[in-house]
Every structure is written in structure tokens, then in C-alpha cells.
Structure 1
Amino acid sequence: MAHAAANDPTSPAAERAEMLVEIAMGLQQRPKTPRHLTSAVELYEQALSLCPHEAELLRARITARKGTALQAVPEQGTASLEEARAAYEQALPVLNRLGGPEEIAEAEMNLGLVLQYLAGYGRAAITEAISAYQRALRTFHRQRFPAEYAILQNNLATAFLSMPVTDERAKIREALAVQCFEDALEVVNLIDHPVEYAMLQNNLGNALQYAPSSHPVENNLRAIAAYDQALKVRSRANAPLEYANTIANKANCLWNLPDELERPEAGNRENLRHARTYYEEAHEIFTEHGEAGKAHQVAEALAQLAHELDGLGEQRHEH
């Protein structure tokens, strides 16, 4: 139906453009192969070529939709991401003049994501991504848009954590990241938003575990509690790779926790054993799912842990 209307030369050009957008969005929502995403990009370009120049808002909306398809295209390098950035930067001035607050905020959120990825390649400043997220938060309030608010807080937190730790403001940024995760967890819950809840708890655990602190044991205990919350959702059966990530993170944390908080000098042999069990399961899952890089990292941790446990065993024999 939509195909026929899009190809009907008697239909108004704007209507034909909208039909092409509908087809593109269908491909984009359920892509079976990367080709579906590149086809969606091509359909958006066709829609733009049909769209009358005076239909400014429609052109901006199509351009922003094209950006979402471009940022989803899997690739080596940054070419599609650079195009997506250009699409959002072209669409946003018009959306700001003529569009609704929610579509503006959505475009800002997507621009932030693109900029954050590009910052990882040294092709954008992470502060630009943070600014885009903060602009999106003017509309995506916690009460009316809990899911968007939570995603933005998660993205802000990961952006803060990705900034260089060489300056004196690193501790402030790490504290801000923890605050962002905690703010997001105030608006999502285990029952209604299990996937987002687990992601946020896992990421909160990482932020607590790796943030420099004058209370490292307290932070590690809070991190363990966060990982345990994530594991209420993530299981080997329903989300094996996410589960493996979380148990590996928990193992890292246990490695640095004393067995008895009141007697840290007594060591952490039991926690090291628990960590080894988690690492072994994570290694098995990563290997099974072809995640060679992660499997290698866990194997290195296991080798180091075995050495440490051997050392403890030798010390015990000497006594």
C-alpha cells in the first residue's frame, strides 16, 4: 500500500515523501540485516529529494529520521556517524523554530549519542555530547518521560566517566556520574523497566567500584549490592552476555574486598575463591558466544587470581 502510494506520480510530492519515510521506518524498526538499515537511509534520501523545499518542518523531520538510521548502521570507522551528526545539526535549527519540544529533545538525545561515540574516536568533544543531553533534559523530565530521563542520565554518567582523569575535577565528575545513575534509578524499577534497571545497576556498580574514594570498602560493598540487583534481571538463560559482564564486574569487586570487614588484615581468601568461580563462568559464556576479547581479559584475570591464591596457600603451609 505504502509502496504503491510512494510511486504514484499523481499523489502530492509531500505525501509520497511521507510514504517513503513510513517504509524506511518499518525497515529500521525490524532490521534483519545491515542492508535493511542502508536501504532505510536510501529511502530517507529519496523522500528528501521528493519533499518540497517550502515544507521546511517535514524536511527537518525526515533529515532527523535519516540520522537515526545512519547511527544504527554497523561499520568500521566513523563515516555513517559523521553523516548522522551532520543530519541532526542540519535538522535541529528548523525543529527548534517549527517543531514540538519532544521531537527537539529526541533529536538532541540522538545527537548526544553520536557525539559520544565520535568522542571515543577523537572526532568530537565529549563536552558537546554532555551539552546535547542536558538540552534534551529540559523536556524529558523524570515525571512525564521516565524512560527517556533514565537513558539520558545513564548517557550523561558514562560521558562523565569517559573524560580524562588527569585533572583535579576528575573526582567531581565521578561523583556526578554516580549521582546520575542514582537519579535514573529513582524513576525506573525492577518490575516495569527490568532491562533499564539492570543496565543502570550494573553501570552504577562499575562507577562505585572504580571511582577513587577515601572509603573504598564502603564503595565496593555498594557496588556488590548494585551488581546483585542487576542479577535479579540478568541470568545466563535470558541474557547470557549481560549476565557474564555483571558477574565479571562482581568478581573484580570481590577481589578487593576483605572477607571480614572488621579484620581486613585477615585477608580475602574466601572472596578470591568466589571471584574465581564468577570468572570461570564468565569465561565459559564469553567463549561460547564468540566474545574472544572479553574471554581473553577474563582468562588473564583468572591466571593472576590463581597466582595470588597459590601464594596464599604457600604462606599457609609455611605457617
Structure 2
Amino acid sequence: MHQEDVVPIDHPQPIGIFPLPAGYLVLPAVGSAAQHAWTAADETLAKECLAKLMAGHVPERMPEPWRFFADALEGKLDEARARLEADPSPVARYNRFILQADAETYLLLQAQLTGELRIMLDVAAFTMGYAADPAAATDASGEVAAAALMAKAAYHLERNENEPAIRALTEAVQRAEPVSPLFAAQLYLSLAAAHRANGGAGAYAVTLYRRALSVLEPSNLLEVRGEAWLNLGMLYQELAGNQREPLLEAARCYLSALRLFEKERHPEAYALGHMNLALTYLATPMQEARDQLRMAVAVQSLREALKVFHQESHPELWATAQLNLANALQYLPSSHPEENLIEAVQLYEEILNVRRSDHDPLGYARVLANQANALAHLGILSHAQTKLGEAAALFEKFGEVDAAETARSMLQEIAEQLLVSSQPAA
């Protein structure tokens, strides 16, 4: 078993642009020896296809020696591998590994591949769990070097070593940007996430997200763009506190994400976008007439989220959406407030049926208090009194003094109303 002569990789390559496994595949050089001979038409078509791939678009037609890549983009991995089966070239052997990896093949190819192809092999093997350490980027250039540095960053992030990860990602961006702006844009997203994890760099992370999105917007990478808008929205939400403008900017980001996510194709991202949009609108200080409309949008978005987040499949997210919907219904300006209050009481009851007071006593108590408030507004005072008494006891037991005082004050008001209602009419 011997190593091949160094087989250079043609640059640029669409490495890192598309989801795996296609994101690690290497296109054979135009005119290279392959299972399918290159025709003059193939060579012309290859230039057009490469330009589209580098811009994040999937070509309608690809030259025959690159059809395996088209199959991989469509998720037809068996068909992609079959197209490469009879091709003995190093690039084809590498691509077969990417499409169907195993430890034995990795060891075999380690002994055979050289140069940038070997570096990409080690990057892929690290990503797939066949190698403990990432590849060195010493002898690589452009997008191959960036892929190796991205793997190095992942290695550090797995060990909570944020600073070395940030340095690796920063260098990866510098290597990728001149040859593959879309790969660099996705590295900017990873760099923004690393800065967020490192703390104290929120404004800079916003800049990184914006820079990435400015490059990604013309592309057809819908999931990448949607996730970027979603993460930018969450970052604005984290930074906002109670400030109105950053909260509204977060909402604009979520709306941008929801224009890209479909419930059928991206159910969890779709539901999360709707829930975060709702929470943002509900947290925005009300200053103008349009804010009442935003509350109605928040209620509708929470209903959309609950079409995906079910108690059985997403218990925590279901409880969050359910609770916020119930809270919003209590205060939603409406021509039928009683119906909203009745629905809120039912939503709270569904939460109480699955939450245990011994597991999360304070959370349980807050749901009880909110439900009691809705019951009181409906005039169901004795039931509200029972619920609120239980909530007050839990608040006192676990040291929530302010919440306990509020609950006791409400109990006093209910007791007074019950006393008045029990008096015979004069």
C-alpha cells in the first residue's frame, strides 16, 4: 500500500457551501481522467455550473462527471456513489468515502491520499467521528485551509476553549473570503455564535451576522439564511432588555426567518420563529395603537407554534408556548374577552395537569396564580380563591416574598368580593 503522487484540487471548490455530505465533496478537475470522458460541451457546462454552485444555486444541468454531486444535493446518496463506483481516481475514492464512510476505508485512504485531498479526508473523518484530532491547515490554501480551520475551531469548542476557536474561525474567514464568499459567510455565522458563547461581544456578533446575511441573501441557501435571521433575532432579544427598538428589530429578524421557513419542510424552525416573534411582541412596551395589533399577531403566532410543539414531542417548548398564549389571552384587547378568559383558564389547566408541584414548585405556583387571575375576572371567585391560596402557600414556602404578598393581596380582594356578594340585597 503506497501513497499516490500529489493530486492537486482545482480551486475554487463549493466546499462548505452546501449541507453535508455534499459540502465536503470535491469536484474532479475539468478534463481529468474519469469514469465518464469529458466532452467539449461538458467543459463549457462545467464553468457555468461552478459559477452557480459557488453562488449557492443548484444548476438544472451538470456535466456527466459531476452528476454525482447533483445526486448528493438531492439526497440520492446511493445513486451518487454508484456513479463513482468504477472510477479509480483518488478524487473518486475520496468522494465515495464522503458518501459512505467507515473506519476501515478511512485508514486505507490515509495511506493513499496526499496533499489537499488528504487534508479534506482528515477534516471529514474528524467531523464524522473517525479521527480524534482535526487536520492541520499548513499545506492547504483557500477553502480547503478554511475547512481545516473550521474543524480546528470545532475541536476547541467541544472543549469549551472559546478563544482558540475564535482565532481559528477568524483565520478560516480570511482564507475563504477571497475564493468562496458564501463559505466565508457561513464561517461568519459560526464566528458570531462563538463570540456569543464567549460573552460580552453582543454588538460585534450582530455585525458578524449582518455581514454574513449581506452575502447570503442572493443565494438559494434558504435554511442557512433562515437560521441566520433566527439567531440574529434571538441575539437582539437577548440584548434588548425592555428597550423597544431592539425588540422590534428582533421581531423584524423573526419575520425574515419566517419568510424562508415552511411548516411542512422546517417544522421546528418555523414554530420557534413564531414563538420567538410572539414573545418579542409581548415584551415590547406599548406606546402606540399598532401595539394592540402586535398583541393579536403574538396570539396567532403562539397558535402556529402549538401546531408543531406538542406535549408529547416537545414538552418544554409546548409548555412555554401554552403558558404565553394563556397569559396573552388574558390581556388581549377583544370584543369577546370572556371567551378569551375561558380559553386561558383551560390552557392553564392543561399545563397544571402535566406539571408537578414537587418538580418545579415556583413555576407551578405562577401558573396557579395566573389561572386564578383569569378565574377572578370571569367572576368564578371561590375557585380562584382555592387556586390562589395554593399558589400563595408555595410562594411563601420557597421564599418568593413579593409574589406571596401579591397573592395574599389578591386573596383579600376576593374575600371582600365574596363577602359583598353573600350579603342579602337591601
* TM-score, reference length from structure 1: 0.78
1:87 aligned residue (171, 185, 208): 208
1:297 matches 2:426? no
Indicate the residue corresponding to 1:60 in structure 2.
185
1:35-184 → structure 2 map (5 Å cutoff): 36=160, 39-40=161-162, 42-51=164-173, 52=175, 53-54=177-178, 55-72=180-197, 79-97=200-218, 100-120=221-241, 122=243, 124-184=245-305
1:272 aligned residue (385, 405, 412): 385
Indicate the residue corresponding to 1:198 in structure 2.
319
Tell me: CA distance 1:255–1:142, structure 2 relative to 1, closer, same or farther (3 Å). same
Give the secondary structure class of the aligned counterpart of 1:61: helix
1:256 matches 2:256? no
Q: Which amino acid aligns with 1:14?
A: A
For structure 1, the 5+ residue unaligned runs are: 28-35, 260-267, 288-294
* Regions of 4+ moved over 4 Å: 1-4, 237-242, 312-319
Indicate the residue corresponding to 1:30 in structure 2.
none
Tell me: CA distance 1:24–1:256, structure 2 relative to 1, closer, same or farther (3 Å). farther
The total of aligned residue pairs comes to: 289
Q: Which amino acid aligns with 1:305?
A: M
- Give the drift of 1:72: 4.4
Indicate the residue corresponding to 2:149 in structure 1.
17
- Give the drift of 1:98: 5.1
Q: CA RMSD in A?
A: 3.0
Q: Which amino acid aligns with 2:134?
A: A
Give the secondary structure class of the aligned counterpart of 2:217: helix
Tell me: CA distance 1:136–1:220, structure 2 relative to 1, closer, same or farther (3 Å). same
Which piece of structure 1 moves more, 109-118 or 306-315?
306-315
- Counterparts of 1:41 and 1:180 in 2: how far apart (Å)? 38
Give the helix-richer structure, 1 or 2: 1
Deviations 1:115-152 (A, max 9, x none): 22333353953332222111111221111111111111
Indicate the residue corresponding to 1:263 in structure 2.
none
- Counterparts of 1:204 and 1:313 in 2: how far apart (Å)? 29
- Counterparts of 1:309 and 1:205 in 2: how far apart (Å)? 21
The higher radius of gyration belongs to 2
- Counterparts of 2:238 and 2:284 in 1: how far apart (Å)? 13
Which piece of structure 1 moves more, 119-128 or 269-278?
119-128
Q: Which amino acid aligns with 1:20?
A: K
Indicate the residue corresponding to 2:134 in structure 1.
5
* TM-score, reference length from structure 2: 0.60
- Give the drift of 1:8: 6.5
- Counterparts of 2:136 and 2:418 in 1: how far apart (Å)? 76
Q: Which amino acid aligns with 2:382?
A: R
Contact 1:227 1:250 in 2 (8 A): yes
Q: Which amino acid aligns with 1:273?
A: T
